[in-house]
Amino acid sequence: MKPHSTILAVCLLATPAVAVVASAGPPPLPSAQAAQSGAATTQAPAAPPPSAQYTLTPEKRAQAIAYSRIQYLLYFLGVVVSVGIYLLLWRGGIARLFRDWARRASRAHFVQCLVFVPLFLIVASLLDLPLEYYSGYVIEHRFNLSTQGFGSWLGDWEKGLGVSVLLGTLLAWLFYAVVRRSGRRWWLYFWLISIPIVLAALAAEPYVFDPLFYRFTPLEKTQPVLTGRIQAMLGHAGLQIPRAHIFEMDASAKTKTLDAYVAGVGASERVVVWDTTLKKMDVDATLLTVGHEAGHYVLNHIPKELALDELGFLLLFYLGFLAVNRLVSRFGASAGIEGVGDLASLPIVLLVLTVLVFLASPFISGVSRYYEHQADQFGLEVAYGVVADPNAAEIRGLQTLGEEDLADPAPSPFIKFWLYDHPPLDERIRFAATYRPWAEGKPLELVHPRSQ
C-alpha cells in the first residue's frame, strides 16, 4: 500500500521532496508450487524450504547495511536541506522579489499565483537537485539497484517538477484565498478543503500521475493463468477484484528492486505488481504478494489510514497556524513580508509544515506498520487452501525481497520507530513462520468466516 499520507504532504509542500525510507516495501513472496495448469511462466523456480530468519551472505549483509545507512542519512539530511532552502528563500528576500514581480504582472490574486508559485518551486527544486541526483541516481547505481539512464532520470525529475508546479499553484491560490478571508480560522477551513483535494488526487493517481512515469499492462494479458488463480484465491475472502484492475508495471525499465502496491480509491482502486517481482518470484509467491495487497483493500486500510492521517493533519495545521503567525509577526517585516496572507510568506509556511511533518513521522510510520502487519496476516490466511505452504512461500519471498532490495538486516529501534512504514523483514519472516491457525484448529481472524 502506498503511504497515502505523503500525497497530502507532497500536495501541500509541492517542493523539494524528502523520501521516506521504508523497510523494503510490500512483500513479494516466492513459493513452492508452479502453475498447475501447465501454462508457461517467466517466473523463477521454487527454492528449497527456507530458514525462519532473514539471512544474508557476509558480502551481501555488508552491502545492505551500507546502503541502508546511506538512505537513513540522506533522509535526515534531506529534511535539513529543505529547511535550509526555505530559510534562504525567506531570509534572502527571494520570495519577496518573486512576489513583487507577481504584483507587477497583475492585481488578480490567481494571476499572481501563476507567476509566483512556478518561480518559487523551480528555484527551490533546483537548489534541491544536487541532493536529489545523489540520492536518486548516484547511490542507486552505486549499489546496482537502478537500470535507468541519466536522461530518463532527468525526464522523471522534470515531470515531477511539472506536477508540483500545477498542484502547487492551485493549492497556493486556495490557501492564500482562505488566509485572506479568515485570518483566525484558515487552518480549519484549509484543512476541510484539503480533504476532497486529497481524495481527488488519490482517485486520479492511477489514471493521471502513475502513467507519467511507468507503463501499466493488465496482468491478464501477460499472465492469464496467474490472473485466474488470483481471482480464485481472493474469492476465499468474498472479494471480487475485476481482472481489469490487476496490473503489471514495467519497473524493470528503471530499477532492479521488487515491489507491489494498491493504489487509488473507489472505482480507481487497483492492485499493481512490478514486472521485476514477477520475474524473480514463482506463481505461488505472486499469489501471496497479491493476497497481502488485497488485504489493504478488504480491510479498508486506505480509508482508515487516510482518516487517521487527516486527523493528524488537523492538529498539524493548527500548530502550524500558531507557529506561522508567530514567525511572521516577529520576523516577517525584516524580510518585507506584510502578513500571513502575503505570497512572500510561503517559505515560512512550508518550513513550519516540513518540521511538523518530520516530527509526526513516527506516528505516521507506526500506523502504517500496524496495517502492513495486518496485510501480512491476511495474505497468509487468504492463501491457505490455495497455496501448498503459505508460510514457507512467504518466508522465501521476504528473503528474496531483502536480497534484491538490500533491506537492512538489523535496523536500530530508533530507525524502526521513526522511519519504517513496514515491520522489519526479520520480524515479518518470524511471524510468517509461526502464524498457522489452521494447524492449531483455530479460525482465521481476518478472512470472512463465510468464505472459509
Which DSSP letter does residue 255 get? B
Cell of 128: 534541491
What is the C-alpha to C-alpha distance for residues 16 and 120, in angstroms, rounded to an integer? 11
Residue 439 lies in a domain: yes
> Where are the strands (E) in 199-274, listed by range?
216-218, 246-249, 260-263, 270-274
What is the C-alpha to C-alpha distance for residues 285 and 30, in angstroms, rounded to an integer? 3
pLDDT at 32: 28
Alpha helices in 92-185 (DSSP H): 94-105, 109-133, 139-142, 150-181
CA-based nearest residue to 391, from 27, 102, 111, 13: 27
Which DSSP letter does residue 42 get? -
For 204, what's the count of Cα atoms within 13 Å in the CB-facing half-sphere?
Answer: 12
Residue 195 lies in a domain: yes
Which DSSP letter does residue 43 get? S
Residue 87 lies in a domain: yes
Measured in whole angstroms, how far is the alpha carbon of residue 95 from the centre of its chain?
A: 30
Based on the number of CB atoms within 10 Å of its own CB, is 154 exposed (0-12), middle (13-18) or buried (19 or more)? Answer: middle
Measured in whole angstroms, how far is the alpha carbon of residue 176 from the centre of its chain?
A: 28
What is the C-alpha to C-alpha distance for residues 47 and 50, in angstroms, rounded to an integer? 8
Measured in whole angstroms, how far is the alpha carbon of residue 267 from the centre of its chain?
A: 20
Please list the residues that pair with 260 across neighbouring strands.
273
pLDDT at 40: 34
CA-based nearest residue to 17, from 148, 133, 149: 133
Residue 50 lies in a domain: no
What is the C-alpha to C-alpha distance for residues 227 and 231, in angstroms, rounded to an integer? 6
Judged by DSSP in three states, 262 sits in: strand
Judged by DSSP in three states, 86 sits in: helix
Residue 49 lies in a domain: no
pLDDT at 25: 34
Cell of 253: 525499465
Q: Angle, nearest 10°, between helix axes 186-204 and 150-181? A: 150
Judged by DSSP in three states, 415 sits in: helix
| Number of domains forming the structure of the chain | 1
What is the C-alpha to C-alpha distance for residues 169 and 110, in angstroms, rounded to an integer? 9
CA-based nearest residue to 236, from 298, 280, 305: 298
Query: In tens digits, what is the pLDDT along the chain, a chain of 452 residues?
Result: 653 334 444 444 444 433 322 333 333 322 322 223 333 334 444 444 556 889 999 999 999 999 999 999 999 999 999 999 999 999 999 999 999 999 999 999 999 999 999 999 999 999 999 999 999 999 999 999 999 999 999 999 999 999 999 999 999 999 999 999 999 999 999 999 999 999 998 889 899 999 999 999 999 999 999 888 888 888 888 777 888 899 999 999 999 999 998 888 777 888 899 999 999 988 888 888 889 998 998 899 989 988 998 999 999 999 999 999 999 999 989 889 999 999 999 999 999 999 999 999 999 999 999 999 999 999 999 999 889 899 999 998 899 999 999 999 999 999 999 999 999 999 999 999 999 999 988 999 998 654 44
Cα–Cα distances (Å) from 437 to 186, 298, 372, 377, 449, in that order, read 51, 20, 19, 11, 13
Given the DSSP bridges, would you call strands 216-218 and 260-263 parallel, antiparallel or unpaired? unpaired
How does DSSP assign 314-351, residue by residue? HHHHHHHHHHHHHHIIIIIGGGT---TTSGGGHHHHHH
pLDDT at 2: 52
Residue 51 lies in a domain: no
> Where are the strands (E) in 264-322, listed by range?
270-274
* Amino acid symbol at 77: L
pLDDT at 9: 44
Q: For residue 345, how many other CB atoms are within 10 A of its CB?
A: 24
What is the C-alpha to C-alpha distance for residues 284 and 396, in angstroms, rounded to an integer? 11
pLDDT at 339: 94
Cβ–Cβ < 8 Å for 290, 273: yes
* Amino acid symbol at 7: I
pLDDT at 51: 65
Look-up: residue for cell 483455530?
442
Please list the residues that pair with 216 across neighbouring strands.
249
pTM for the predicted model, two decimal places:
0.85
What is the C-alpha to C-alpha distance for residues 444 and 293, in angstroms, rounded to an integer? 18
* Residue 261, φ and ψ in degrees, nearest 5: -165, 165
**Domain of residue 93, residue span:** 5-44+56-451
Residue 362 lies in a domain: yes
- Which DSSP helix (H) or strand (E) runs through 400? helix 390-405
